[in-house]
Amino acid sequence: MTKTLHHRACHLCEAICGLTIETEDRDDGRHILSIKGDAQDSFSRGHICPKAVALQDIQNDPDRVRQPLRKVAGQWQPIAWDEAFELVAERFAAIQAEHGKNAVAVYQGNPSVHNYGLMTHSNYFLGQLKTRNRFSATSVDQLPHHLTSYLMYGHGLLLPIPDIDHTQFMLILGGNPLASNGSIMTVPDVEKRLKALKARGGKLVVVDPRRSETAAMADQHLFVRPGNDAALLLGLLNTLFNEGLTRASALPVNGLDQVKEAIAPFTAEAMSGRCGVPAQEIRQLARDFAAAESAVCYGRMGVSTQAFGSLCHWLIQLINLVTGNLDRAGGALCTSPALDLVATTSGGHFNVWQSRVSGLPEYGGELPVAALAEEMLTPGEGQIRALVTVAGNPVLSTPNGRQLEQALDGLDFMVSVDLYINETTRHADLILPPTAPLEHDHYDTTFNVFAVRNVTRFNEPVLAKPEGALDDWEIFVGLAKSFAARQGTELKPTMPPAQMIDMGLRFGPYGDKSEHKISLATLREAPHGIDLGPLQPNLASRLKTESKAIEAAPELLVADLARFAAEPLPAEGELVLIGRRHVRSNNSWMHNYQRLVKGKPRHQLLMHPQDMAGRGLADGQRVRVQSRVGEIEVEAVASDEMMPGVVSLPHGWGHARPGVQMGIASAQPGASANDLTDDRQLDAVSGNAALNGVPVRVQAA
């Protein structure tokens, strides 16, 4: 029996931590003996979180689908790959012929960006559908980030990243990197990096309605009313202008005078009542930020998934800009990745078309997923009648999940590319399972774009592909060929993902014409990854706006100030719901693995003790939580880490639906927060779902 060490990165969250995986070859195949952090990894330095160890649980999970399945008379039956591809082509072609191209919709889940085969090849088939009804998890997550960068910098992926290893002052709003390992900030070993910030005399300030794990280690934590982060940010920016705390930037900028004029009424005193932070604390925070040798303001899920998400991210960019911390060491810097998606793609487009029912704007060819259910349920020309889901579980991950369930039940045909029969795919007529993560190679096309240091690595498969199994990209090639043949159209030739990556690397900034000579061959000789150095100022040369300058005052965002000013304050005594992230979980992915769900339950509702007492509730009591769209029952736990008036429930739970075949998850199902979130509660600018700040009522069950 032969033991072998393998090195690759974990793909289960954005941190892409390096792993050392020991395997043993036995008579019945290769087995995983251990998964540990790779101390020689150029980026993660040996750090891993519990999710990485659970990779072997994914590999060995008896509930994982391992062959194509077709639903016949309500029962799942095996089907051959070619027969499955032909069935999809036949049904989609027929539905589009009768009802039009837009009658078939697409939903792509968050795991798509963790699998390069999906990134390179999903559109090989999905693009042939020529439907405008395309949706993804982007619009329940990070759409305001991308839209803001598109409007200000000319490209949705030109995202300034906190230079966490060199900053002297870090202001985090609505982010909990100790639980998320960073997000739109690829930052393995974030706890040590934040401790290093404090050790070098820097300061960490966290703004959050909950005293999160990150807030608990901060030098200062400020509670903020959910949905009103924009008030705090406006108060900060107004103070910077009014007290002369701005610093000139060498970057080309248009519109700063317009910004100063537009935010003049939003003083710290005027905004204090909105955000719940005293005016003097707002002003002092602005002074401290401006006085720091270097500083960076960073906002994440809490400010993205709210009614003013785009406004928040615009203000965050402006705070970094006017203090001279944009495109500056220790501030916010753009990456220079080996595979440069900004340089090789167009900036994108916005609002070229709108959703049929509510008129929500598209971004980059995708409509906001909050519109998905109504597009299925509302009769008329263009009604969605068929759906393909890719690595996604929108029933648990998007607003008003019960309404979406109703909509999925009414479809003419549905196919899911997925590893599980979960809360969404149980509605499918066909499930096409790809190989498991350790059975195929991988390159992080996306997360190197968000990394706090320029790094690159290629991940070889650890385990052999099972006989008869297909990688994700091979599934899409098969679907594309069958659909093109049925339509009588010519299909352009393609190549494996690794070959595409090799071309991108060789023609990239560290490729054949550079001193680094990065290619797939050089990466294969560097199993621990290659460090390409710290982030450097480069924004001026990478701008893709027509003016080649930063557009500081996009008309769309300036106009949204009026909507914010008109927004009423929450009703007295009203509770609002926010989400929560745990390190042993990632959206709805990881509740079927014993290593990650063992221990104390983590799916309870957190409430401040005084909110419980005011409603006659006891710690640990079963409660009913109601919103405009639905209700759930859940255990409530008293927690003084919550801001009074705010309750918290993690999303991704709710595994008690009939037909789900995930034994461990179903044994402790929890309740779905997205049975409460409202499909009508949106960021009006982008259409992103406002999953935080949902008004709810809580009473004894």
- The whole-number average pLDDT for the span 63-84 is 97
Residue 518 has pLDDT above 80, yes or no: yes
Per-residue pLDDT tens over the stretch 531-570? 999 999 999 999 999 999 999 999 999 999 999 999 988 7
Beta bridge partners of 455: 531
Read off the tokens for 551: 């557009």
Q: What share of the chain is helix, strand, coil (3-state, %, to 5)?
A: 35, 20, 45
Per-residue confidence (pLDDT) for residue 600, from 0 to 100? 87
Per-residue pLDDT tens over the stretch 197-254? 999 999 999 999 999 999 999 999 999 999 999 999 999 999 999 999 999 989 999 9
Match 């999710």 to its residue by tokens. 51
Fold of the domain spanning 567-700: Barwin-like endoglucanases (2.40.40)
Per-residue confidence (pLDDT) for residue 224, from 0 to 100? 98
Q: What is the DSSP string of 83-94?
A: HHHHHHHHHHHH
State the Cα angle at 625 between 621 and 627, rounded to 5°: 170
Per-residue confidence (pLDDT) for residue 590, from 0 to 100? 86
**Domains of the chain, residue spans:** 2-53, 69-141+348-496, 163-328+547-563, 567-700
Type of residue numbered 696: V
Q: Which residues contact 392 (CB under 8 A, 6 or more apart)?
A: 107, 108, 109, 110, 111, 112, 136, 137, 418, 424
CATH 3.30.1490.190 fits 163-328+547-563, yes or no: no
Task: Express as a percent the part of the chain with pLDDT over 70.
Answer: 100
- Mean pLDDT of all residues belonging to the chain: 96
Per-residue confidence (pLDDT) for residue 42, from 0 to 100? 83
Per-residue pLDDT tens over the stretch 428-454? 999 999 999 999 999 999 999 999 999
Q: Is 427 left (phi over 0), alpha (psi -120 to 50) or beta?
A: alpha
With beta carbons less than 8 A apart as the criterion, state whether 206 and 172 touch: yes
Taking the CB of residue 544, how many other CB atoms lie within 10 A of it? 19
- Per CATH, the number for 69-141+348-496 is 3.40.50.740
Predicted model pTM: 0.97
Taking the CB of residue 528, how many other CB atoms lie within 10 A of it? 18
Per-residue pLDDT tens over the stretch 55-70? 999 999 999 999 999 9
Helices (H) then strands (E): counts for the chain: 26, 28
Per-residue pLDDT tens over the stretch 585-633? 877 778 999 888 888 889 999 999 999 999 999 999 999 999 999 999 9
Q: What are phi and psi of 95, to 5 degrees?
A: -65, -40
